[in-house]
Amino acid sequence: MQVGKCAALCLLAFACSAGAAGAFKGTFSGTGRACNGTLHVRSQTIEWKSSFSTCRRSAYEVLETSQADGRQRMAFRLKAGGSKCLYEVLALEQVDGTDWTADGYPSLEAFRKKDLPDWRDSPLPERLVLECPMTRLD
C-alpha cells in the first residue's frame, strides 16, 4: 500500500510540474541586437534561440511562480540547454496582453541572488542577466 501511495504522489508531483507552465506555454518572439529570436515554452520542454545563445530543447524544472499586480512570472531551470546555451535559468513575465519579458540567468546562483545589491547591475560575466522584451505569437 505504501508503494502505491508513493507512486501516486510522484505522479501527482510530475503532473503538477509539467502542467505548471500552462499559462506560459506558447511561442514568443524577441527583437533587438541580443534578443532577436524565438522562445518556445511547452508543457515538458523549453527552447530559446537568440542572437548570441542557442538553448536547445530541454526538459525543465519550475523554480518559481508568482503573480502580483496582474503580472504573472515563472522561472524555469533548464536540465540540458547544451554547450551553446548561455543560460541555466530562464524567467518569463507577462507585462501586458501579448507583451512579455524573458530574463536569462547564467546560473542558478545568479537567479537566486538577483535582488542583492552586489549582484544587480554588476559587470561581472557570471552575474550578467539578459533581459529581453518578447511578444507572444500564439
Convert the pLDDT of each residue in 3-37 to its tens digit.
444 433 333 333 344 455 667 899 999 988 999 99
Residue 100 in contact with residue 119, Cβ under 8 Å? no
Convert the pLDDT of each residue in 31-86 to its tens digit.
889 999 999 999 999 999 999 999 999 999 999 999 888 788 999 999 998 999 99
Which amino acid, 117? P
Alpha-carbon gap, residue 63 to 79, rounded angstroms: 12
Alpha-carbon gap, residue 26 to 43, rounded angstroms: 9
Residue in this structure with the C-alpha cell 504522489, named with its chain if needed: 9
Alpha-carbon gap, residue 129 to 121, rounded angstroms: 9
